[in-house]
Amino acid sequence: MESKAEKVVLTVEKEIAIRFSEVDSMAVVWHGHYVKFLEDGREAFGVEHGLTYMDAYKNGYMIPVVKLEVNYKSPVSYEDGALIRTTFVNSESAKILFDYEIINKRTGLISATARSVQAFIDAGNRNLLLYAPEYFINWKKRVGLIGVP
């Protein structure tokens, strides 16, 4: 039997303008700037769903990115604009996982897909946590990802 938590999908979309400084000599967004776009998506997700970097820090933790995979599909140019779709991937591990789609606003084509993995570390001693902190578990309960029959 499928639980309600398995049906919960937490996503946020954020539109961004492409700045001239973000394009390369081919007039398309330089591949390294996509990492900043993913950060924009994570920050928008945190604000929308109550899981910000400052929430982690206020609870005594930091959540650095420990793995990032980006798959480039089609270009985004200076005047195109982009939409960043960020989706939380629920996991039982002590990690925060996000999937992303970066969509060219002008063409509607997917420009890139990505996944990021963040780990919890203690803000004081910088030790890696092997368990999800209580504030994160409580957040999951609040948004219906766990503890729902």
All structural domains of the chain with their residue ranges: 4-142
- The string of pLDDT tens digits covering residues 74-86 is 999 999 999 999 9
- The string of pLDDT tens digits covering residues 19-39 is 999 999 999 999 999 999 999
- Alpha-carbon distance of 65 to 22, in angstroms, equals 22
> What global pTM score does this model have?
0.91
Low-confidence residues of the chain: pLDDT under 50: 1-2, 5, 149
User: Residue 38: exposed, middle, or buried by beta-carbon count in 10 A (0-12, 13-18, 19+)?
Assistant: buried
Topology of domain 4-142 in CATH is Thiol Ester Dehydrase; Chain A (3.10.129)
